[in-house]
Amino acid sequence: MSIGQHFWAPKGWESDLFSSIDLDWIPRYMVLDEEGKIKLFKAIKANDEEIIKHIN
């Protein structure tokens, strides 16, 4: 089961999405607040304790 949004960048590392958020690792899990602001930027595993902390 997949949760959240998944993005595909046809230009790979050269994509606007990757460069705008300075993405340097895939997979990457991020937590955003209700306003769309990034609260957690760099979680590499879906079960990262920081993800759970930010969601609760």
Q: pLDDT for 15-42, tens place per residue? A: 887 778 777 777 778 888 889 888 888 8
Q: Evaluate whether residue 13 is within a structural domain.
A: no
CA gap 41, 32 in Å, rounded: 9
Beta strands in the chain (DSSP E): 29-32, 38-43
Domain that residue 36 falls in: 26-56
Q: Evaluate whether residue 5 is within a structural domain.
A: no
Structure tokens at 32: 């955003």
CA gap 31, 43 in Å, rounded: 9
pLDDT of residue 52: 84
For residue 56, what are the contacts with CB-CB under 8 A and spacing of at least 6?
A: none
Q: Evaluate whether residue 16 is within a structural domain.
A: no
Q: How many domains would you assign to the chain?
A: 1
pLDDT of residue 3: 63
